[in-house]
Amino acid sequence: MPNQSSPAVIIAGGGPVGLVVALMLGRAGIAVTLFDQGDIVHSQPRAATIHPATLDILDDLGAYALIEPQGIVCPIVNYYDGKLLLASFDHALLKGETRHPWVLQCEQDKLSRTLFAMAKAIPNITFRTATKVTGCSQASGAVEVIVEAAGGGQERHQALYLIGADGARSTVRTAVGVEFEGFTYPERSMIIGTPYDFAADGYAYRNYIADPDEWYNLFKISWLGPPGIYRLVVPLRPDEVVDGDHALATAQCKLQRFNPRPESYEIAFYDSYSVAQRVAATFRKGRVLLAGDSAHLNSPIGAMGMNSGIHDAVNLAESLIRVLCGGESDASLDRYERQRRHVATAHVQTATITNKQNMEQRDPVKRQRYRDEMRRRAEDPLLAKAFLMRTALIDSLRDAERIV
């Protein structure tokens, strides 16, 4: 058993998922230690879209009022086929289903900084940055976690539960021997930020652009500047180089191919990444629970990774609070696994795999079917609302609640 001074819960990873779990457990009076191998507030370009269902959750946590001024409120999302606008959806159709019938474009590091500042104010949460979780084992009612601190020294910590919120390459998931089932796409994608104002060319703040030659996702992600930053996500062909000096030239070429202009684009940042569709074989192994990217990975098209990870975090924190403070049986943690693994496989994987297929569809018959379907949805308010209920992840939360 852990001794008196041990935390009840150890969290590996201080991304948005680990921070939400820490915040909720800490507020419930549970002693928590969170280890992060980095500094928590790194600003690599990643998530920027926060859907209505997640905004409701962040509002309940008191975070929404803090992030809204840092983001861009976007009720509209547009779908194109090449240059042809197929469909425009207004999240106002979700009034009555959510308190936030819009998407907030707010970069992940801004959310993390906000959640970190909130959680740091809670005395029973201990943060250990620059400290890497390297392994864990379970025995006699406790879990032992091995960490390597900044100076290189090894430490052992005990707790009742360990949460693996340590991202795609999760050490915790590997340490407990859970398979990460699925596949990785052969091609990489590129993400490019520019202060160029695509609104002047008629684009909304959120645009999905299907194209059999080269698809694009174009989002305004901040007001930085002003005029602010638009972000283009685009697949890389195998012959396109993204190493060293070539990366900037490739980014310029991608922007020019998307929207040719005589002048060069100013490039604020660029990065490339690989995309996988994977779900952990189980989200629970005894006293070890997985959440967020350590439990599931998906293509960013549709913006569901961080959003669904935050939904895991809330479900898991509420389950642990019922067990640790409400006397509920530990077996009830299996419900977390049943509900959230179902969402990962039946909602997020299905939607994101289909989104990518639609973006890059080369078969003319399937492409025409996609065009017709999007136009029909946009013209019929009932179909449009049903579509937004899925993309905004409201359906997935309600579906999970039905699982006992």
Residues near ligand FAD (CB under 6 A) are 12-18, 35-38, 40, 46-49, 108, 132-133, 165-167, 171, 191, 273, 292-293, 300, 303-307, 309
Within a 10 A sphere around the Cβ of 340, how many other Cβ atoms? 30
Shortest separation between residue 167's beta carbon and ligand FAD, angstroms: 3
Nearer to ligand FAD, 210 or 351 (CB): 351
Q: Hey, what amino acid is at 180?
A: F
Contact 103, 77 (CB under 8 A): yes
Shortest separation between residue 263's beta carbon and ligand FAD, angstroms: 26
Shortest separation between residue 327's beta carbon and ligand FAD, angstroms: 29
Shortest separation between residue 376's beta carbon and ligand FAD, angstroms: 26
Shortest separation between residue 43's beta carbon and ligand FAD, angstroms: 12
Instruction: Report CA-CA distances (Å) from 81 to 40, 310, 371, 376.
Output: 38, 31, 7, 15
> Residue 286: which residues within 8 A CB-CB, separation 6 or more?
138, 143, 176
Shortest separation between residue 39's beta carbon and ligand FAD, angstroms: 8
Nearer to ligand FAD, 161 or 371 (CB): 161
Nearest CA to 76 among 94, 60, 96?
Answer: 94
Shortest separation between residue 266's beta carbon and ligand FAD, angstroms: 20
Nearer to ligand FAD, 36 or 371 (CB): 36
Distance of CA 363 to the CA centre of its chain: 30
Nearer to ligand FAD, 300 or 371 (CB): 300
Nearer to ligand FAD, 27 or 132 (CB): 132
Contact 168, 176 (CB under 8 A): no
SS3 content of the chain, % helix, strand, coil (to 5): 40, 30, 35
Query: What is the gyration radius of the CA atoms in the chain, in angstroms?
Result: 21
Nearer to ligand FAD, 89 or 371 (CB): 89
Nearer to ligand FAD, 295 or 371 (CB): 295
**Dist CA 358 CA 380 (whole Å):** 20
Give the H or E element holding residue 377: helix 364-379
Nearest CA to 340 among 98, 23, 17?
Answer: 17
Stated length of the chain: 404
